[in-house]
Amino acid sequence: MGKTKTAFVSEGENKNEQKHEKAHKTEAEKVHLSGLKGGQRVKMVEAAPIETVEETGTEKKQTTKKIIEKIRGKKYIDAKKKFDNTKIYSAPEAIKLVKETSYSKFDGTVELHMIVKKAGITTQVALPHQAGKTKKVEVASDETVEKLKSGDIDFDILVATPAMMPKLVPFARLLGPKGLMPNPKNGTLVPDEKKAKSFSTGTVTLKTEKEAPLVHTVIGKVGQDTKELTENLEAVFKAFGGSKQIDKAYIKATMGPSVKVKI
C-alpha cells in the first residue's frame, strides 16, 4: 500500500481562505459607475435597456423615461375643444372663453396666473371692482380693542392709524396668524382716519412666489360682468408694469381650461 499523506489546515488558514473567496466574490459583484470613488459600491442599479446594432457592431443605449400623464375628465376635454390653445386672446375674448368653458355647478372664481421677469416682486393693486366675496372692513378704535379682549373678530380687514397701533400690539398673537394685523405692506396702516375710512376692499397685495417669478391671484367671479373682469385684469397688468415686466399670462375658471391672454 502506498503511503497516505494527511494535510492539517489550521483554523487561521481556513478563515483566510474563506475571506479570500468572499473578497473574490464581492469583487465580481462590484459595479463601476463614473463619479464613484474607489471601493464605493451600489446595492442596485436600474440599467437602461441596450439595443445592439449588428450591422455596425456598436451598442446604442436607450434611456427609459417615466412619463406621468395627467388624466383629464370628459368635461375638461370638451371645454378645451372650444378654443385654440395655441392662440393669444385679447382680455375681453379670453374672459368670454373662460365663462363659456367653466363647467362647475357653482359660480367659480376667475384666476389669473402670470410669469413675470423676476421673483421677489410685491405690489399693491386697487381693483376697480370687487373680486368675489365682499369683505367687511373695520377701522381700529377703542371699541375694536374691547372686542379683541374677548376674542371677538367680526371683520375681514382691519385698518389702523399709527396712533392706534400701540393699543393693537397686545393682540398681535390673535391678529397676526389671521393676517389681520395692520401693516404698511398691505396698505392697512394709513396716516390718518380719513384715509382709513376711505380704504377700498378692492385693494389687494400681490407678490411672486418666494423662489419663482410666478404670480397667482383672483380677478373676480365667473358670473361677474365681462367689463368688470376686464378692468380688474387690466389693473393687475398695469400694476406689474405690463408687457415690460410680464412674460406670459393665463386666466381660467376654478373648473375649466386656461386661456392665454394678451398683456
User: Three cell numbers at 263?
Assistant: 398683456
Selected residue with higher pLDDT from 133 and 169: 169
Tell me if residue 186 falls in helix, strand or coil: helix
d(CA 247, CA 262): 10
Q: What fold does the segment set 137-197 form as a domain?
A: Rossmann fold (3.40.50)
Strands (E), the chain: 50-53, 58-61, 109-116, 122-126, 137-139, 157-159, 203-207, 214-221, 246-253, 259-260
Instruction: Give 210-261 pLDDT, tens digit per residue.
Output: 889 999 999 999 999 999 999 999 999 999 999 999 999 999 999 999 999 9
Q: Interhelix angle for 91-101 vs 226-239, to 10°? A: 120
Q: What's the average model confidence in pLDDT over 115-139? A: 84
Percent of the chain with pLDDT over 90: 47
Higher pLDDT, 114 or 133: 114
CA 54 remoteness from chain centre:
49
Every domain range in the chain assigned CATH 3.40.50.790: 137-197
Q: What is the mean pLDDT of the chain?
A: 79
Contact assessment for residue 221 and residue 104, using Cβ atoms and an 8 Å cutoff: no
Q: Which residue, chain included where needed, has cell 365663462?
A: 99
| Of 35, 25, 32, residue with least CA distance to 47 | 32
Q: Where in the chain is the domain with CATH 3.30.190.20?
A: 74-132+201-260
Asked whether the predicted pLDDT for residue 66 surpasses 70, the reply is: no
Q: How is domain 74-132+201-260 classified at the CATH fold level?
A: Ribulose 1,5 Bisphosphate Carboxylase/Oxygenase (3.30.190)
Whether 153 has a pLDDT exceeding 50, the answer reads yes
d(CA 91, CA 262): 6
